[in-house]
Chain A
Amino acid sequence: MNWRAIAAIARKDLRAVSRSKGVMFPLVLVPLVILGGLPALIASVTPLIPPEAMAGMERFMEKLPQALRAELSGLDVEQSLLVLALVYFLAPMYLVVPLMVASVIAADSFAGEMERKTLEALLHTPATDAELFLGKLLSAWIPALGVAAVGFLLYGFVADICTFRALGRLLFPNPLWALLVAWVAPAVAGFGLGTMVLVSARVRTFQEAYQLGGAVVLPLLLLVAGQVTGLLYLDLTVVALLGISLWVVDAALLWYGARTFRRGVLISRL
């Protein structure tokens, strides 16, 4: 493995992406909205819920899993709602961020390179198929992790500031989110990446890849729905298992992706 070539590919793709407004816009806006705007909105709206509505909330909470109700014991309805929303319900939304960053950059790096017709010269270089593949993976995976880490700091900071008065303690950091950031977020990024590699092998443009690949967000929305309906509760075990299964899926996707990423195949598609 020629790490210098791998790093050169990753660095070049990142640099090119950072100069592309169409790609940078969602990369900056979505994390800001989800990780900055959403916690602030929830924290400021919760205290405004009228008491009549709070009664309904209590009935909703009674339907939550036993273990989760235990977590919330000793809190009033408003406090419970804050913890529920910020620690549990929004957790899958947090995962949208590394997923999206990885997918968008990978779409640009894989499908975009083909669309801009810059791939042919790259295939004529001594870089091996594996080096090209790895360089392109890293160009999307590393920024996804970076944005996920910085995004978590933003999210925790905003959530703590907005809820400290109501709760009297800090919600973040906590073990559940530590696991989410360090274990699940990288796996989710890998999932977006692996999907995009497969999608890019079937489409011709960045836009097509981006739109098709956008479907990867759906499983995360199912997680949100699962929790809101009380079917699911993201405790440490569930999050750890979620991480493991994602890593396994990632390995399968990338193994298959690497097999399709052959210069002889790629050049025939140009």
Chain B
Amino acid sequence: MVRGTVVIEAEDLRRRFGEVVAVDGLSLEINAGEVFGLLGHNGAGKTTTIRLFNGVLPPDGGRVRVLGLDPVREGTLLRRRTGVLTEIPALDGRLTARENLAYYAALYGVPRSRVRRRVGKLLAKFGLSERADELAGNYSKGMQQRLALARALLHGPELLFLDEPTAGLDPVAAREVHALVQDLSQAEGRTVVLCTHNLLEAQRLCHRVAVLEHGRLVASGSPAELVRSLSRGLRVEIELSPEDREVVEALRGLPGILEVVKAHPGILEVKVASHLVLPEIARVVVGAGGSLFRLSPREPTLEEVYFALHGREEAG
């Protein structure tokens, strides 16, 4: 798949369960080769969105095309080209790891003559070869997650849906999964749709994210873009000499400064409208004869953006 091609195109997608609107007018585009995050709290509609995208659940309204196919009418064709890591690993605990993979290899139509090698290769890649003939039910959570990820890759899918791939994993196991996801995208060029409620994970792995809230898309863009466009103002720390009281007064009057957050002798923390105010601050300090030790803008994290958005949703 050529990078930049649109892989998923959703328009006003809707799905309700009784009174609950799980997906509410979702429109988005996901491009080939990107790691796209669906970010949201529990119940935001991430899992339902994946089910709609993969043709497992029919939508109530709207339009969606995935890999150029209609997920409802051409679900079988579509699912031959997608791989899914479900929220719960959904491995059969009464089968060994190897048997679990061989079973899905048959379901995904991996040619018979290649099943053994393919399974062996994935077990090795995911560090499970040694315990490949143990029942999957006896695996640790991290191993189950890796096995489920291996299962999603058996047929070399172009598009991967990963539903909360690190939920419930310890930090070491989570980091392993992160490395694997990065490898899938960067080295193998697969498109990845990743559901998560973990902002750091989204920031670390995703090229772009869509923030979902009660099934509605409340914001989207690259993590950096989101941070910039949604944080109302940029926080800046200005370190001066403790004697520079007039400088502080001069700065308070500067039009670009939205708010003075903290003012201690020698340290001033302000909110400014944009990066463009930074040179102006430097000029004012210098012009007033002050000594500028540090002028550091602090980019808000996605987490702060997320809570800002969440607050806005709750309020609105």
Chain A contacts to B: CB under 8 angstroms: 2, 4-5, 7-9, 12, 15-16, 19-20, 116-128, 263-264, 267-268
Q: Does B227 belong to the interface (CB within 8 Å)?
A: no
Q: Does B93 belong to the interface (CB within 8 Å)?
A: yes
Q: A121-B90, A121-B104, A123-B56 are in contact. List 6 more A-B contacts (CB 8 A).
A: A12-B95, A16-B94, A121-B86, A121-B148, A126-B108, A127-B76
Question: How far, in angstroms, from A20 to B79 measured CA to CA in the complex?
Answer: 31
Instruction: Report whether B92 and A12 are in contact in the complex, using a CB–CB cutoff of 8 Å.
Output: yes
- Return 12 A-B CB contacts under 8 Å, by A number: A4-B112, A12-B103, A15-B99, A20-B94, A121-B91, A121-B148, A124-B54, A124-B79, A126-B76, A126-B80, A263-B75, A267-B56
Q: Does B58 belong to the interface (CB within 8 Å)?
A: yes
The 0/1 profile, CB within 8 Å of A marked 1, for residues 76-118 of chain B is 1101101010111111111100010001101111001000000
Contact of A5 among B17, B95, B106 (CB under 8 A): B106
Given A9-B107, A125-B108, A267-B57; A120-B94 close (CB under 8 Å): no
Question: How far, in angstroms, from A52 to B194 measured CA to CA in the complex?
Answer: 82
* Closest residue of B by beta carbon distance from A12: B103
Q: Does B214 belong to the interface (CB within 8 Å)?
A: no
Q: Please, how many residues of chain B have a CB less than 8 angstroms from a CB on the other chain?
A: 34
Instruction: Report whether A264 and B56 are in contact in the complex, using a CB–CB cutoff of 8 Å.
Output: yes
Q: Does B141 belong to the interface (CB within 8 Å)?
A: no
Question: How far, in angstroms, from A12 to B109 measured CA to CA in the complex?
Answer: 16
Question: How far, in angstroms, from A116 to B54 measured CA to CA in the complex?
Answer: 22
Q: Does B151 belong to the interface (CB within 8 Å)?
A: yes
Question: How far, in angstroms, from A2 to B99 measured CA to CA in the complex?
Answer: 20
Instruction: Report whether B108 and A116 are in contact in the complex, using a CB–CB cutoff of 8 Å.
Output: no
User: B80 to chain A: which residues have CB within 8 Å?
Assistant: 126
Instruction: Report whether A19 and B108 are in contact in the complex, using a CB–CB cutoff of 8 Å.
Output: no
Q: Does B51 belong to the interface (CB within 8 Å)?
A: yes
Instruction: Report whether A124 and B56 are in contact in the complex, using a CB–CB cutoff of 8 Å.
Output: yes
Chain B contacts to A: CB under 8 angstroms: 17, 51, 54, 56-58, 75-77, 79-80, 82, 84, 86-95, 99, 103-104, 106-109, 112, 148, 151, 161
User: A118 to chain B: which residues have CB within 8 Å?
Assistant: 90-92
Instruction: Report whether A116 and B93 are in contact in the complex, using a CB–CB cutoff of 8 Å.
Output: yes
Instruction: Report whether A5 and B107 are in contact in the complex, using a CB–CB cutoff of 8 Å.
Output: yes
* Closest residue of A by beta carbon distance from B55: A263
User: A263 to chain B: which residues have CB within 8 Å?
Assistant: 56-57, 75
**Residue of A7, A120, A124 contacting most chain B CB atoms (<10 Å):** A124
Instruction: Report whether A126 and B90 are in contact in the complex, using a CB–CB cutoff of 8 Å.
Output: no
- Min CB distance A1 to B, Å, is 12
Question: How far, in angstroms, from A20 to B75 measured CA to CA in the complex?
Answer: 33
Instruction: Report whether A4 and B106 are in contact in the complex, using a CB–CB cutoff of 8 Å.
Output: yes
User: A4 to chain B: which residues have CB within 8 Å?
Assistant: 106, 109, 112
Question: How far, in angstroms, from A119 to B112 measured CA to CA in the complex?
Answer: 24
Instruction: Report whether B86 and A120 are in contact in the complex, using a CB–CB cutoff of 8 Å.
Output: yes
Instruction: Report whether B107 and A8 are in contact in the complex, using a CB–CB cutoff of 8 Å.
Output: yes
**Residue of B54, B76, B92, B161 contacting most chain A CB atoms (<10 Å):** B92
User: B106 to chain A: which residues have CB within 8 Å?
Assistant: 4-5, 7-8
| 3 smallest beta-carbon distances between A and B, as pairs | A8-B106, A121-B90, A124-B84
* Closest residue of A by beta carbon distance from B72: A264
Question: How far, in angstroms, from A2 to B109 measured CA to CA in the complex?
Answer: 9
Question: How far, in angstroms, from A59 to B92 measured CA to CA in the complex?
Answer: 59
Question: How far, in angstroms, from A123 to B107 measured CA to CA in the complex?
Answer: 11
Instruction: Report whether A119 and B56 are in contact in the complex, using a CB–CB cutoff of 8 Å.
Output: no
Instruction: Report whether A16 and B92 are in contact in the complex, using a CB–CB cutoff of 8 Å.
Output: yes
Instruction: Report whether A117 and B57 are in contact in the complex, using a CB–CB cutoff of 8 Å.
Output: no
Instruction: Report whether A128 and B94 are in contact in the complex, using a CB–CB cutoff of 8 Å.
Output: no
Instruction: Report whether A125 and B92 are in contact in the complex, using a CB–CB cutoff of 8 Å.
Output: no
User: B77 to chain A: which residues have CB within 8 Å?
Assistant: 126
Instruction: Report whether B57 and A264 are in contact in the complex, using a CB–CB cutoff of 8 Å.
Output: yes
- Min CB distance B87 to A, Å, is 8
User: B86 to chain A: which residues have CB within 8 Å?
Assistant: 120-121, 124
Question: How far, in angstroms, from A4 to B95 measured CA to CA in the complex?
Answer: 19
User: A126 to chain B: which residues have CB within 8 Å?
Assistant: 75-77, 79-80, 107-109
Instruction: Report whether B94 and A121 are in contact in the complex, using a CB–CB cutoff of 8 Å.
Output: no
Question: How far, in angstroms, from A117 to B137 measured CA to CA in the complex?
Answer: 13
Question: How far, in angstroms, from A85 to B213 measured CA to CA in the complex?
Answer: 69
